[in-house]
Amino acid sequence: MKLQGKVAVVTGAGSGMGKAIAALFAEEGAKVIAADINRAGVDAVVADIVKNGGEATGVTANVAVKEDVENMIRAAVNAYGSLDILVNNAGIMDNVEPVGALSDEQWERVTAVNLKGPFMACRAAVNIMREQKGGGVIVNNASVGGLFGARGGAAYVMSKHGLIGLTKNIAATYGRENGNIRANAIATGAVNTNIGTTMTAPDTLGLAAMGDTGPMRSGEPLDIARVALFLASEDSGFVNGAVITADGGWTAR
């Protein structure tokens, strides 16, 4: 098993990609802290993991709230004695608003979850990982919106560009310490999850900017979970500061 004995925190683990990542990591031997704002979703995920012979603990956490994030990281150490892997998966969409139509409230809502939350989690995690002999691994679930300008609205695109920048900065800074901490990102394309429910009234100008070229196909949560497993395991031991595009070829056109 590729993650035998490792301790992993996964945000947004109550559904979608986070749920698939938590389940796959547990199958591969990790002890999982499954964190999500949705307590019922977390409880269901933990129950499934335990039923299948894995080990997991559920934590209710809003990643936009500092106290919740710090409690989530602390829960890993308190429950299992270490923190080896952090997967920042939780995220929300905007309404594809271009900058001229973007309100302060929408900007703050999207960046709080998509960028501030991962920043706070990374900050707490690296200070634990630096003290561990084995270091640690951070996997940030970004988006093709972090690579291009028209795969979301201004707030979403900026937040995902920022998340990729954060990933590279962590890799460049803490990878110098004998490769003690690795950080990589996944630029996901269209995946069949409930993230679309966070879009309530898509902006027509923003949709037009995306053009007629849509995804070649939608992925499934397990597709992304397998990429996350590769980045979290020693299979990617020489990969640091990278962005892996997992979009079914969407951006290849």
pLDDT for 2: 98
Contact 94, 155 (CB under 8 A): yes
User: Where do the domains of the chain lie?
Assistant: 7-252
Beta pairing partners, 188: 246
pLDDT for 197: 61
What average pLDDT values come out for the chain (253 residues) when binned by 10 residues?
97 98 98 98 98 98 98 97 98 93 96 98 97 94 94 94 98 84 96 70 65 72 98 97 95 85
Q: What topology is assigned to 7-252 in CATH? A: Rossmann fold (3.40.50)
pLDDT for 177: 73
b (16+ CB within 10 A) / e for 3-16 = beebbbbbbbbbbb
> Helix (H, G, I), strand (E, B), or coil: what is residue 252?
helix
The beta strands (E) that lie in 25-102 are given as 31-36, 55-60, 85-88
pLDDT for 199: 61
The H-or-E segment that residue 209 falls in is helix 204-210
pLDDT for 70: 97
Is 156 among the catalytic positions?
yes
C-alpha pair distances (Å), 137 with each of 52, 117, 174, 206: 25, 17, 11, 35
Q: Which of 25, 80, 107, 156 is catalytic?
A: 156
